[in-house]
Structure 1
């Protein structure tokens, strides 16, 4: 296959994984994914920026078969879907050196057994000349590991961001053309992977302000020849206030909790609140994560199971806590038969959320008139708090 030319001497090597449906044995991939490496040929030296997942090693090596010399391998990120083929590339080009941040060096040695003498560490702002092309290394910790960096090709104004600004999306197109589709994939990627590091992302977005960028080249999904599209999207997800939205992840075993959710949903809608319920027995957790990006309120619904919360509700609560969305308010609703510690159990899993806790509605058995009234009061409290915060 012919290399995908971006600019003179700059090529994308996109290893498209159309059929992959799960990442890290955790994250659903409804649209597959890709692992992008980039080849930069200067007048004197040649660099490979990132590699690909070992599952696509054969593709990478086929793309490199006519590359006679490789001087440098830039490891923007030590995670194996980008660094996993470095050792294989070093076998083909034994004179090449690996460039990485000081924090990435021990990770590459531990995860991939790369010899220490093959790795050169670079400081923030340090440059590397390829002759007529210059690479500038920009430390960008915690997007989404502590060792990550960007690489900026100064003459061609291309920013290689590895995971940052990427999307799990299999595509044959080099650049993002279907912006609606790419926006959804990028938002899913942000919500599942980047959202816990929102404050670090703010700092790293600020670093881009001083750069003139023609192309953003991430290591998942298409590149952006209109960089403002993805930068503006990230600014919105990171900085904007949450919307007038309540997300309700719930489980119902015998119908009681479902009835409570339906009543709460109706009561919130009557008060002008947008409601997004998620039945956790059938929910794509990526869709739930995306909804959490914009939600001002999260209400978890659960029945009692062995005096505790339902396992699916526990997992959803753990997920929300781990993702650290911008939600301002949180509550719990549910039903029990003979006893429950679900409220204490779920509350203890929410330490990372900087949200006000609204008193829960936890009832015995099937909801009765007084219980429906309590749900009405909960809806009114949520709507009032949204109004007080001018949420739209």
Structure 2
């Protein structure tokens, strides 16, 4: 990957990790990812904005081989996919200083063992003049770690946002030309990484709304030369009320829960509700996370395993609780034979969700006529709640 010019004196470097399929041993990457670094060359000084994941360090160092000096390394975020190669860059450019927030300094010293005398910490709104290129630093805590910041390049109207507004998408293109594909990748990224910090993101969207922005340059995925595209998407995901959607993550062992899910889906669809079922034995957890962004209701479906919920359902419930979607209503359906505490177990796992719990439907064995009637009642209650919320 060669340097790509964004504006005179501003170029995108970094690495495209085409084959990576899992992030943090947790997050699926169906489209790979990229680690974007940027060079900003002023008349007097040169700054490198972020580095790359150590797995791709050779690519970054090859790109820097003809760069005679770097005066500053701007560390927006201490996570190693951005900061992991700072020690290598400091080894090559021994006079360079690392610029970051005070909290990031502590994290980088702990994670990468960078000496304290290599740091310059900056406060919110502080600027740095490179000679005709002015960097303005904007603190953005909890997007998605507490030490994060953005950089605004004043003269060129470029906002460097690190993880914020990014996407796990491997691409050789500089700009987000295929907006449909980028939208899906960015939504997946928002759902998996940013959604738990929605309240902080609201403040950051407010903080940058008056900036004159020509280009948004995140640290994953393509650069946006149409900033409105990604800002509009985030405003929808963050501010818009949930949609007329019921998400049903479920597991089934002998078919009882599957039959319940199929019946409930049929009844809800007939009443005008969009239903998205996810069989957790084959589900890409990122697809589930994306569905949660818009869902007004979650119905958790589980068989009983050793008196408790199925382990896959426990995991999905934990995930939904951690992601904190805008969901308004939750219910639980399930089946057991000789006894179950799954309902209580799952109810205790959704304490982060500001939801109204709709009466669960738990049945004994395979669903019978009276059980289908109970599911009819659940569907009616969901429809009623959606109507009252003004989304149906």
- TM tier relative to shorter chain: over 0.9
Deviation at 1:156, TM superposition (A): 0.4
- Which residue number corresponds to residue 245 of structure 1? 245
- In the TM superposition, what whole-angstrom CA distance separates every residue of 1:177-234 from its partner, at most 9, and x where no partner exists? 0000000000000000000000000000001112000000000000000000000000
CA 1:2/1:283 → structure 2, altered by over 3 Å: closer, same or farther?
Answer: closer
- In the TM superposition, what whole-angstrom CA distance separates every residue of 1:255-281 from its partner, at most 9, and x where no partner exists? 000000011001111111100000000
- Which residue number corresponds to residue 179 of structure 1? 179
- In the TM superposition, what whole-angstrom CA distance separates every residue of 1:354-385 from its partner, at most 9, and x where no partner exists? 00000100010000100000000000000011
Alignment partners' CA distance in 2, 1:106 and 1:208: 26
Alignment partners' CA distance in 1, 2:152 and 2:115: 26
Within-5 A mapping of 1:44-55:
44-55=44-55
**Corresponding residue SS for 1:103:** helix
Where does structure 2 lack aligned partners over 5 or more consecutive residues?
none
Deviation at 1:6, TM superposition (A): 0.5
**Corresponding residue SS for 1:221:** coil
Alignment partners' CA distance in 1, 2:380 and 2:266: 12
- Which residue number corresponds to residue 25 of structure 2? 25
Question: Alignment length, in residue pairs?
Answer: 392
Alignment partners' CA distance in 2, 1:372 and 1:2: 61
- Which residue number corresponds to residue 325 of structure 1? 325
- Which residue number corresponds to residue 39 of structure 1? 39
Moved >3 Å (runs of 4+): none
**Corresponding residue SS for 1:210:** coil
Please say if 1:364 is aligned against 2:358: no
Alignment partners' CA distance in 2, 1:262 and 1:7: 54
Within-5 A mapping of 1:335-350:
335-350=335-350
Within-5 A mapping of 1:1-392:
2-392=2-392
Deviation at 1:14, TM superposition (A): 3.3
**Corresponding residue SS for 2:209:** helix
Normalised by the size of structure 2, how large is the TM-score?
Answer: 0.99
Asked if the contact 2:14–2:51 (Cα under 8 Å) also holds between the matched residues in 1, the reply is no
Deviation at 1:71, TM superposition (A): 0.2
Alignment partners' CA distance in 1, 2:102 and 2:152: 18
**Corresponding residue SS for 2:366:** coil
Where does structure 1 lack aligned partners over 5 or more consecutive residues?
none
- In the TM superposition, what whole-angstrom CA distance separates every residue of 1:66-117 from its partner, at most 9, and x where no partner exists? 1001000000000000000000000000100000001111000000001011
Normalised by the size of structure 1, how large is the TM-score?
Answer: 0.99
Asked if the contact 2:317–2:349 (Cα under 8 Å) also holds between the matched residues in 1, the reply is yes
Alignment partners' CA distance in 2, 1:156 and 1:382: 50
Deviation at 1:2, TM superposition (A): 3.5
**Corresponding residue SS for 2:40:** strand
Asked if the contact 2:2–2:13 (Cα under 8 Å) also holds between the matched residues in 1, the reply is no
Deviation at 1:314, TM superposition (A): 0.2
Alignment partners' CA distance in 2, 1:69 and 1:314: 52
- In the TM superposition, what whole-angstrom CA distance separates every residue of 1:266-315 from its partner, at most 9, and x where no partner exists? 11111111000000000000000000000000000000000000000000
